Structure 1
C-alpha cells in the first residue's frame, strides 16, 4: 500500500523544514511527510566566510535527523517523479506516496555540462567555488602568490547572486594582509551589465571596487574552462563593457575571448533537479511554475512551491524563503479549513548580505521591482543605512544570522 500524507513536502532544506515547522507550530494534527535523501543539513550562507578562513565549516552542518521537526515523518529517499492528477509522488525506494497537499522545495542542482571543462576542474588545483567546497577555496587563497585572480559566474540563475563577488572582496583583503596584493590583478567577469541591480547598493559597491582596484568586465558569458592552460573562455554579450582596465593576458578563439587566470572562483551553473525538469510542474525555462505572489502552482491548486526551485524573478536566498514560507503555510491551512487560499502575498523580497571586507558588510534588501527595502529592525542595531558598509552588519552576518537560523527559523518561529 502506498503511504498517504495530508501534507507531503519534497526537500529538507531551508524551505521544506520551515514549512513543516510552521505548520506543526499551529498545534493541529497535520500528517506531514518530508522526502529528503541527505544525512546532513547545511547552513550554506556561512560558506562565504568559510572560504575566507573566518568561519568553521563544521559549524555549518547539523544531522538532518536533528533538523526534521518533531511530528513530521522523515522519508529518507529521493523523489523521482510526479503524477499530479493522481496526487502522487514516486520515490526511488519507498514506492509511491500520495498526498492531499504537496509542497515542492528540493532546491536546485548543478549542471556542469553547461560550462564544459568546469566539472573536471572545480575544487581541484587553483579552481574553487564556495558553493561546492569552501574549504578548498580557503586553500586556494592561502596558496595564491600573485597573478590574475579571476572571479566569475555562469549565465544561469544561481543561489544568492551576490555570492560570487563577496568572496572576491574578502580575497582582496586577504591578499593585502598576506602581501601579494601588489603582484595581483583582480578581475570580475560577469554576464550582467551592472555590479548589482539595486541602485543604492550598486553605488556603494562601485566605491568598494575603486578602493580595491578591481577590474570589472561586463557582458562576459562563461562558455568553457581550459584547466590545463588556465583559461576561462567567454562569449561577449551586447552589454559588453569594462571598468578599471587591467592589462591581463587575453586569448582569442573564433568569437570567444579567453582570460588567463592564476586562480579562479566561480559559482556552478545551476538548474532545477532533473526529476523536476522532467515533470509536468515546470515552465518553459524548466523551473517550478508557481504564482509569483501566492506560491500556488499555476496548474495544480493543491501544489505549492518555494525556495530555489521556484520560477520567481528574484534572488534565490534564504531570506526570500523566510518571507515565502508564511504565505505557503497560510494558504495550505486555509485550503484545508475553507477550501480557498488567503490574501497573504509575497512581494519578491530577497536579501543579499554583501561582505566587503573582514569586518564590513552591506545588506541589500529588495523586492520584485528591485526597490531597496531595508528591514526597519536594523534601526535597533543602530544601522541607519544598510546600503552603506557597516561593522554591525558583519556582526549580523557572522553571529546573529546563524543563531537565528538554527534556533528560530528551523523551529518555525517568527523572525
Structure 2
C-alpha cells in the first residue's frame, strides 16, 4: 500500500490541469496522478485532423512531458474506490491511500454498444474523429469521395464535445465545396436529440450552413447497427408521438460518434450518482457525501457541456477549494458551468459558442458570438492548442482564474 496527500485519478486534461493548479498555489504538495497511458492527447484537435488542418501527431505528447514536476505518476488504472477508508484499489491489486481525492476519469466511448461497429471501424468507409487513429481516415474518406452518401451521427447525451459530430460534417462539406463536388454528395446528419445545438442562440447561424451545404437533418435518429462490408447503417427513428421505427440506409462514408457512458469503476462505486457519474456539487465540485473528494471533467455529473474548456475552468476551482478543505475550512469558490465549443463551420471561419449553466451566454470576446468569424478560426486552429499545452497543463490560468466566491 502507498500513501499520498492528494491522489488524482486520471491523467487527461482535467487531471493534469488540476495537479498543475494545485502546485501553483502550494509547492511541495505530495500529489500522485494515477494514469495507465504513456501518451497524452489534445483531443479537441482530432476534429481538425479529420478536416485536414492538423496532422494527428501534433495532438499527441508523452505523458511524462506533461506531468508537472514533482508529481508522482502511478502507471495504472483505478478498479474500485473505498471512500470511507480513503482508499483506491488499482486493477493490478495495488492500493493507494489519500487525504484528498480528485476523480478525473473522463467518459468511456462505448464502441461496442452498436452491433457491427467495432469490426468495421477504419475500413469500409466507417470512421470517427473520436479516436486518434481514425481521425486521419475521416479526411482520407472525405477527399476520396466523389459522389454518393455521407452520413454523420450523434448519439444520445451525454457525450464529450457535443459540437464535434456536426463539426466533422461542416469541415467535410467545406472540403467538398472547395473542390466543386458538394452537389454530388447526399449529406445527412442523424442526431438522437431534438435539436441541432443545445443553446438556442447558436441554432440560426448553424442552420444557415445546413442550408448552404444542403445537408438533411434527421432528429430523433439513433444509429443502432452497422454492416460495414455491405455499407448499410440501421437507424432507430423516434417520431413526435414517441413511436420508433427502423430505417436502413446505404452509405459511402459514415462518420460515427460513439455512445458514451460513465467509467465502470466509478459507476460501480459509492462516488457515483444514479447515472454512474461522480456526484458533486455543480458549484464547488466537491463530492456531495465525501468532503475530501472532488470531481471534474467529463466524468462528473455537473450539468455543463463536456468540453476541454469546461475542464480548464473547473481545474482552478477544484484546486482552490480542495486546499481550503485540506486546511480545515469550507469550499470557497464556485464554477459557473462555463463551456466553449468553437464550431468550425467552414475552412477559415468558426462560431465560438461560449455558455454556462442554464444556457447563459458567457462570451469572452467583445463581439457577437453567434457570428462565424475568421478570428474564431484562428482561435481554434492556432491559439487554443498553444493555450492547452503551454498554459492549461502548466497551471497558468489565463482567463480561467477562480473569481466567483461560493456563498450559498
**Alignment TM-score > 0.5, same fold:** yes
Q: Distance in 2 between matches of 1:400 and 1:129?
A: 24
Secondary structure at the counterpart of residue 247 of structure 2: strand
**Residue matched to 2:50:** 51
Q: Distance in 2 between matches of 1:156 and 1:389?
A: 25
- Contact 1:193-1:240 within 8 A present in 2 as well: no
Contact conserved, 1:17 with 1:69, CA < 8 A, in 2?
yes
Q: How does 1:146-161 map to 2 (within 5 A)?
A: 146-161=147-162
Q: Secondary structure at the match of 2:357?
A: coil
Structure 2 Cα separation of the partners of residues 255 and 48 of structure 1: 31
Which residue of the partner structure matches residue 199 of structure 2? 198
- Corresponding residue number in structure 2 for 1:174: 175
Decide which of 378, 383, 386 is 1:400's aligned counterpart: 383
Q: Conserved in 2, the CA contact under 8 Å of 1:108 and 1:308?
A: yes
Judging changes above 3 Å, is the alpha-carbon distance between structure 1 residues 31 and 290 closer, same or farther for their aligned structure 2 residues? Answer: same
CA shift, 1:237, in A, is 2.2
CA distance in 2, matches of 1:112, 1:83: 29
Task: Structure 1 unaligned segments of length 5 or more: list them.
Answer: 242-253
2:348 alignment partner in structure 1: 359
TM superposition shift of 1:116: 1.4
Residue matched to 2:358: 369
SS of aligned partner of 1:25: helix
Contact 2:171/2:347, CA 8 A, preserved across alignment: yes
2:311 maps to: 321
CA distance in structure 2 between the partners assigned to 1:257 and 1:240 by the alignment? 17
CA distance in 2, matches of 1:196, 1:319: 17
1:388 aligned residue (371, 384, 405): 371
TM superposition shift of 1:288? 1.5
Q: CA deviation at 1:239?
A: 4.1
Distance 1:191 1:74 in 2: 39
Preserved contact between residue 317 and residue 351 of structure 1 (Cα < 8 Å): yes
Matches within 5 A, 1:12-411: 12-93=11-92, 95-132=94-131, 133-239=134-240, 255-342=245-332, 344-375=333-364, 378-379=365-366, 384-411=367-394
Change (3 A) 1:280 1:24: same
Give yes or no for contact 2:316–2:397 (8 Å, CA) kept in 1: no
Match in the other structure for 2:405? none
| TM-score, length-scaled by structure 1 | 0.92
Between 1:31-40 and 1:154-163, the stretch displaced more is 154-163
Q: Distance in 2 between matches of 1:223 and 1:71?
A: 46
Provide, for residues 168-190 of structure 1, a one-character-per-residue CA deviation record: whole Å limited to 9, x for no partner.
01101111223322211111111
Distance 2:273 2:183 in 1: 48
Q: Higher mean Cα deviation, 288-297 or 159-168?
A: 288-297
Q: Secondary structure at the match of 1:255?
A: strand
Contact 1:77 1:94 in 2 (8 A): no
Aligned to 1:5: 4
Q: Match of 1:338, SS?
A: coil
- Report if the CA contact (8 A) 1:170-1:357 is conserved: yes
| RMSD (CA atoms) | 1.6
Distance 1:119 1:340 in 2: 46
1:249 match: none
In 2: Cα distance, 1:178 partner to 1:94 partner: 55
Contact 1:10 1:106 in 2 (8 A): yes
Measure the CA separation in 1 of the matches of 2:205 and 2:240: 22
User: Does the CA-based 8 Å contact 1:155-1:222 persist in structure 2?
Assistant: no
Counterparts of 1:182 and 1:207, CA distance in 2: 17
Q: Contact 1:218–1:239 at 8 Å: present in 2 too? A: no
1:240 CA displacement:
8.4
- Which residue of structure 2 aligns with residue 248 of structure 1? none
**Number of corresponding residues:** 395
Whole-Å Cα distance in 2 between the matches of residues 373 and 235 of structure 1? 35
